[in-house]
Amino acid sequence: MVKFNVKWYKKFIESTNEKDLLVSKISDLLEGKPQNSCLEIGLGISPYFAQKLSKNFKKYIIVEKRIIKDKLPEGVEMINDDWENIKLDNKFDVIIASHVIYYFNNKKAALEKMFNTLNEGGRIIFVINGKTSDYGPLKFAFGDMIRKKYIFTYDKLLKLLKGRKFREYTLPSTIKFSSFEDLFETLKLSFNSCPEEYEKLKGRIIKYLKENIKGQSFIIDQKLIEVKK
Ligand SMILES: C[S@@+](CC[C@H](N)C(=O)[O-])C[C@H]1O[C@@H](n2cnc3c(N)ncnc32)[C@H](O)[C@@H]1O
């Protein structure tokens, strides 16, 4: 089971431009056209998406497992529950599942539930990290270090979407860092399925980063996958 770590997430968010890129791309996909309803699964620590996107919808609901007490944008409703257990009566025109699939215990069932919760003609927007740029090779190198083939959630998602038509967009996001030690700390979030190994291999990972990352930025190719029903 992968556990969400708020401290690691905060550190990551402070160092990357990924949320701005995502919000802007999703806005483009929605084309400013008013839609009825949006369901967002997995908020994180702040309503980045809802702040910019909720104005497009009559109804905007967020399902988040953690108890969140922060103020939400007007008209946005929060359901504090686990997507894998919740029962919803409503269906939605748009479902946003950004960087949340990693955490589902049963990804197949969680995805099926999303498609069952989507109106005809609606779409799901998934966001996950891709396998290219700096991020993918680091994960492959880490797999070699722990002698386990690293399986990307990206590949798992594509397998689960087999037979469905989708569009894939690549959004390279930049992580800024002041030292390789700092970059190691920022990337902890991406290794939250094996935190002990990551910490144990700190020396080797920093050596890898020093040898392979040129300049003061680390690139993650985020994949935005849009599936229509
Ligand atoms: C990495 S954050 C992603 C947040 C945001 N969507 C983003 O793109 O940055 C994952 C969020 O999903 C939530 N989460 C994980 N599993 C969940 C589940 N089964 N149901 C609802 N929320 C979940 C976590 O608590 C966390 O807030």
Ligand 1 centroid to Cα of residue 116, in Å, is 20
Report the pLDDT averaged over residues 204-226: 96
Question: What is the C-alpha separation between 31 and 25, in angstroms, rounded?
Answer: 10
100 within ligand 1 shell (Cβ under 6 A): yes
Which fold would CATH assign to domain 6-130+151-176+218-228? Rossmann fold (3.40.50)
Over the stretch 57-71, which tens digit does the pLDDT of each residue have? 999 999 999 998 888
Asked if residue 32 has pLDDT above 90, the reply is: no
* Domain boundaries, given as residue ranges, for the chain: 6-130+151-176+218-228
By alpha-carbon position, which residue is closest to atom 11 of ligand 1?
42
Q: Is the pLDDT of residue 33 over 80?
A: no
- Confidence category of residue 143, pLDDT binned at 50, 70, 90: very high
Q: What is the pLDDT of residue 68?
A: 85
- pLDDT surpassing 90 at residue 45: yes
Give the pLDDT band (50/70/90) at residue 53: very high
φ, ψ at 85 (rounded to 5°): -110, -25
C-beta separation of 36 from 58 below 8 A:
yes
Q: Is the pLDDT of residue 51 over 80?
A: yes
Model confidence pLDDT, tens digit, residues 157-175: 999 999 999 999 999 999 9
Closest CA to 222 of 84, 123, 92, 130: 130
How far does residue 100's CA lie from ligand 1's centre (Å)? 5
Q: What pTM did the predictor assign?
A: 0.96
Ligand 1 test: best mutation among 69, 103, 125, most atoms within 8 Å of CB?
103
Q: How far apart are CA 33 and CA 18, in angstroms?
A: 24
Tokens 């797999």 correspond to what residue?
Answer: 143
**Which residue owns the Cα nearest ligand 1 atom 15?**
103
Of 1-5, 44-48, 102-106, the poorest mean pLDDT is in 1-5
Best CA proximity match to 121, nearest among 228, 8, 7, 13: 228
- CB 13 near ligand 1, within 6 Å: no
**What confidence tens digit (pLDDT) does each residue in 74-129 have?**
999 999 999 999 999 999 999 999 999 999 999 999 999 999 999 999 999 999 99
Ligand 1 centroid to residue 207 C-alpha, Å? 31
pLDDT score at 120:
93
For ligand 1, mutation pick of 10, 63, 100 (most atoms within 8 Å of CB): 100
User: So what's the pLDDT on residue 27?
Assistant: 94
Q: Is the CB of 189 under 6 A from ligand 1?
A: no
Selection from 172, 100, 104, 166 nearest residue 136 by Cα:
172
What pLDDT was estimated at residue 161?
98
Q: Which protein residue has the closest C-alpha to ligand 1 atom 8?
A: 98
Nearest CA to ligand 1 atom 9: 44
Report whether pLDDT(147) > 80.
yes
